[in-house]
Amino acid sequence: MELKISKKELLARVINLFLPDFFFRVFSKLSGSNGKLTVLAYHRILDFNDNFPFDIDLISATPKQFEDQLKHVSKFYNPIDIESVVECYKSNKKLPKNSVLVTFDDGFLDNYSNAFPLLKKYNVPATIFISTDYIGSDSTLWFDQLAFLILSDDLNVSEDNPLFNFINQDSAVSKRKILETCLEELKLVSNKERLNILDNLAKSNEVLIRKMPCKEFSSTLNWNQVNEMNDSLISFGSHTASHPILTRLNDDEKLLEMTSSKTVIEENLKQTIDTVAYPVGTDSAYDESVVKSTQSAGYELGFTYVSGVNDWPLDQPYKIKRLHVEQYTSTPLFKCMLSMPRIFGY
Ligand SMILES: [Zn+2]
């Protein structure tokens, strides 16, 4: 069997083999990330296999991987809560040394069932950015419903659906690859077009959707769980209401997504919500007009999904970068990424 190990992975393994963990702190100082704002970005924490019926790329780590990562963070870093970050930002204070902020996007149930017990065990605070339309609802996040349909053998897609040609590709193209292409396409079209395409697909697959094992694999949090976590170590921020691609909305729609999600969380948690993470969050998923809506809605900080660490004090409070944790982020790579983000971040 041919082992494909990336150069970063190989280097990370060598460093882990020959250098005791203690030296990661030294590396961190040398690389200059100490004193900066380091944010880790997760989605889901879940055990899985190749037959996983939803978007497998949203699984950031298995519970075992996540525990190894938390052990390292709690031993060598200073896990910080988001309220302290906002407070330091507003009062122009330095961040505590070696600060690391742990964040999750979307608000999947496994954040409660798998991540929360481990975060408590290692006393690591975290922030979950939730898409409020899906909290306490039976609806499946739109991209995960799309994933289920495309991965299914029984999918019906009408010829007039713009995804038809993407879906009916050569059988040599894997379904997961087709899903990736369809998701990319949906990020490019207008919001109305995206909703029409998804609606068309849902209408021709009503029976299939009823069979969707979302309770088992793709549930979102409910407000009781959100409240319980909020009472103990976990903070919440907005991930908008419906998880649109914000740059595909007009200004009024953008502002509505920003304000309505903020209000719903504030009403449920009875506290001010100061932070938002832009859905998808890559370069094309936010722009100056998104920043303007974020500011107008009253948020203090906006989080992207662009890789990197942030100079402190922040010069771009609405364009905060994060380090992505993915299921292929091995523990050696994770340790190297945290202490040497410029070399090992991706
Ligand atoms: Zn998201």
d(CA 129, ligand 1 centre) in Å: 8
> Tokens representing 38?
């380091």
Q: In angstroms, what is the span from residue 13 Cα to ligand 1's centroid?
A: 31
Selection from 125-129, 178-182, 205-209 with the highest mean pLDDT: 125-129
Span 15-70, pLDDT tens digits: 888 877 777 777 777 766 668 999 999 999 999 998 999 999 999 999 999 999 99
**pLDDT of 97:** 87
What percent of the chain is modeled with pLDDT above 90? 75
Report DSSP letters for 39-50, one per residue. Answer: EEEE-EE----T
167 vs 80, more confident: 80
The confidence band for 162, taking pLDDT boundaries of 50, 70 and 90, is: confident
Chain centroid, CA 127 distance in Å: 11
Reference 278, options 102, 41, 114; nearest CA is 41
How do strand 44-45 and strand 38-42 relate by DSSP bridges? unpaired
Closest by Cα among 254, 278, 255, 286 to 105? 278
Taking 80 as the threshold, does the pLDDT of residue 256 lie above it? yes
Question: Which 3 state secondary structure label does DSSP give 286?
Answer: coil
How much distance in Å is there from the Cα of 276 to the middle of ligand 1?
Answer: 11
Neighbouring residues of the ion ligand 1, judged by CB less than 5 Å:
105-106, 279
Q: How far is the CA of 106 from the centre of ligand 1 (A)?
A: 5
Residue-wise pLDDT for 257-278, tens only, equals 999 999 999 999 999 999 999 9
**Of 172, 176, 160, 318, which is closest to residue 254 (Cα–Cα)?**
318
Q: What is the pLDDT of residue 156?
A: 86
How far, in Å, is the centroid of ligand 1 from the Cα of 242? 10
211 falls in which pLDDT band (50, 70, 90)?
A: confident
pLDDT at 80 over 90: yes
pLDDT of residue 2: 44
In this predicted model, which residue has the larger pLDDT, 2 or 165?
165
Q: Can you tell me the distance from the alpha carbon of 218 to that of 319, in angstroms, rounded to the nearest whole number?
A: 29
Please tell me the distance between residue 141's alpha carbon and the centre of ligand 1 in angstroms.
9
User: Ligand 1 centre and the CA of 71: distance in Å?
Assistant: 26
Confidence of residue 161 (pLDDT cuts 50, 70, 90): confident
Q: What is the pLDDT of residues 230-253, one digit of tens each?
A: 999 999 999 999 999 999 999 999
* 3 state DSSP class of 233: coil
Using the mean position of ligand 1's atoms as its centre, give its distance from the Cα of residue 93 in Å. 30
pLDDT of residue 1: 42
According to DSSP, residue 56 is labeled: G
Average pLDDT, the chain: 92
Better-scored residue on pLDDT, 345 or 252: 252
Which residue in 228, 43, 236, 232 sits closest to 120, CA to CA? 232
Cβ contacts of 28-33, under 8 Å, gap ≥ 24: 28/76, 28/98, 28/338, 28/339, 28/340, 31/339, 31/340, 31/341, 31/342, 31/343, 33/309, 33/338, 33/339, 33/340, 33/341, 33/342
* CA R_g for the chain: 20
Distance 20 CA to ligand 1 centre (A): 36
Contacts (Cβ under 8 Å, ≥6 apart) of 346: 8, 307, 324, 337
Burial (CB count <10 Å: 0-12, 13-18, 19+), residue 261: buried
pLDDT recorded at residue 33: 62
- Closest CA relative to residue 125, chosen from 65, 85, 68: 85
